[in-house]
Structures are given as structure tokens and as C-alpha cells.
Amino acid sequence: MKKPKQPKQCPPSPKSSPDAGIKPEGEKVAQPKLSHRPDGGRAQRNPVHYDAHPHASMRRFAEFLALRYDSDRTCHCYYRDMRLVHEWCACDPALIAEDQLRDYFLHVKTVKGWKPKTVRQTAASSKLFFVEMLGHEDWTVFSQIKTKDHDALPAVLTREEVKSLLHHIRLRRYRTPLKLIYCCGLRLSECLSLTIHDIKGDENKLWVRRGKGCRDRLVPIATPMVEDLRAFWSFHQHPLLLFPAAGRGPQTDQSKLAARMHAAERPMPYSSLGRLLLKARAELGYPDASVHTLRHSFATHMVEGGAGLHTVQAILGHRQIATTMVYLHLTHQAEQDGLRLVEDLCRDLPH
């Protein structure tokens, strides 16, 4: 039986030396209190550090995950999958039979309607628990689970819609990261994890460190966007983070807000940008728009502007060119070409 595919281990990111990308030349800033590059979003605690576990097998699984994976988030997700199995069967998951696990997958797939990706992740977590940790190599349920992603095209905004959406984000501390996501095609986590050392403003380059698949990449950044980032950083002057969390407290007192952001120990949470974008979308009446829609829109507009697919692939950080090719179907030119061909086919047909 084949072993489940394991997420790639993330090597430590190379250290960057301070440069004049964000900080004005000669500007002195306090040394960062953070000892490492924090990830954007909510911090996930490694299950091996939990104070208690529902069963001894779950504690053993937490230790198994900690030995195998470096990412706390990966350990957290796999442990959570097995915790859901434990809650569904209402007993120690190490004691359930193969038929009970098969019933669980039938339940989440046909009753709860889980998406294919979620089903596959749960199957991978269960295979780690039951096959690799407990040694049930004779179980065949995992070879029976087949799911296929639905080939749905992502939502894309026009350039005017992007402009209107950003205008409706009234606070600069939220508008600036959303604008950067669109202008550089970043993922939300990549944007909020940026540090001041990742922006090479004089070279119009931006380093994405430990992106999806733990890969680094270098993307171009426009001069006006660099100037926006410099202006935004000059407000809070955090010694490391580009988008620090605003924290709790009065939002109207700019001096106190800047002080909280300067002392922040984590980047801005994901939910802040997502919530404001949904509000702006409702005000404008756009049916589909999320933070990730800005990344899709960037790629589509790049292809419309004549950028090669391999160029867009490198900027987005796609491993496979087939992932990038989906944007060919979303361009305005593709729609016009399709309409022209359909009209040609129908032109001389009898009524």
C-alpha cells in the first residue's frame, strides 16, 4: 500500500539584510523584538503542547505528527481531522473498526457535503493514524475513497471593479495590503507575512518568503506601490513587520494606534481584510469577490495585457503551467473571440 503524500518540509528562510526598500535612507529603527518571521493569520498551536488529550492514542498521534512535520499548522490540521473522527464515533478512535471509518466518510461526503479537497485531507490524516501509526495495513477503505475537484472557473473583477472596490476600503491600513495583493498577485498569507526586508524598492522587486509549498520567489513591484508602502510604514515604523496588527483600543487616536502597531508581535489577522472586503462588495453589489479574487484578477489582467503564461506562472508561484492556463478562459479577449466564432457559425443557418 502506498504511503500518503506528505506536505513538503519547509526549510528556514534565508536571512535578508536591511535595505532602503521601505525605510528612507539613514532612517534608524529599533531592533525587532521578534526572533523569527511570523506567519500571517491566526497562530496554530502544535497539538503536542496541548495540556490534555481525549485519549492516549490522540496524544500519541500528536507526538507522531510533531516528529514528522515542522509546521505547527500542518500538525494542527491533521490532529483536528482525527478529533472530528473521535467526536463522531464517541469513543477512542484507536478502537473503531474499518466499517465504522467507512461509515464516517460516507457521512461527511453524502450527508455533510464536504468538498473533495477536505475529504482527501481527512483521508490522508486517517491513513497516517490508522495505517502508519496503528499498523492497519490491511484496511482497504482508503483505496475506495475517490474524489474529484469540480472544474469551476474563479470569479474575476474588471479593472474598474477593482478600483471601485479599493475605493470603498476607507482605512489605509486595510486598503494598502489589498492593493498590494492585486498589484503583485500575492496570496493573503504571503502579503501579511511580509517584512520590511522583503521589499527591494530601489530594484522594484519583492521577495515572497516561504510561499505555498515552502518556496521563495521574486516578483516585480511597481514604483507607485513601493511609495505607498513607504508612506504606510512611516506611520507605524514597526522594526520588522510591514502589516502589523492594530490591536485593541481606540481607532481614532492616531498616535495610540501607531504605537500599538509599532509594538505588535503578530501581523494583521486574515479576518480583518476579508470582513471589510465582503462589506465593500455588498455596498457595490458585486456577487462574487473575496481577497483571493484580487489575485485571480491580477493574473487575468496580466494575460489580457499580453504577459506570457510562463511569466504569470513565475509571478504567481504556480508549480504547474496548467494551473495558470485557466486564466486564458477568463480574459475579455477570450470572451470576444468565442462570441465572434459562435456568431460566424450561426450567421447563414436557416431560420
Residue with cell 514597526: 238
Which of 80, 168, 212, 230 is flagged as catalytic? 212
107 flagged as catalytic: no
Longest CA pairwise span in the chain (Å): 78
Q: Kindly give, in sequence order, each residue whose CB lies less than 8 Å from that of residue 57, ignoring residues fewer than 6 positions away.
A: 92, 93, 94, 134
Which of 23, 76, 175, 295 is flagged as catalytic? 295
Which of 69, 79, 182, 327 is flagged as catalytic? 327
Decide if 240 contacts 34 (C-beta within 8 A).
yes
318 flagged as catalytic: yes
Decide if 268 contacts 247 (C-beta within 8 A).
no
217 flagged as catalytic: no
The three-class DSSP label of residue 195 is strand
295 flagged as catalytic: yes
Which of 23, 53, 187, 281 is flagged as catalytic? 187
102 flagged as catalytic: no
86 flagged as catalytic: no
| Long-range contacts formed by 164-169: CB under 8 A, 24+ apart | 164/284, 165/277, 165/280, 165/281, 165/284, 165/286, 165/289, 168/279, 168/280, 168/283, 168/284, 169/276, 169/277, 169/280
Sheet holding 199-200, edge to edge: 199-200, 205-208, 217-220
Decide if 250 contacts 256 (C-beta within 8 A).
yes
Supply the residues annotated as catalytic: 187, 212, 292, 295, 318, 327
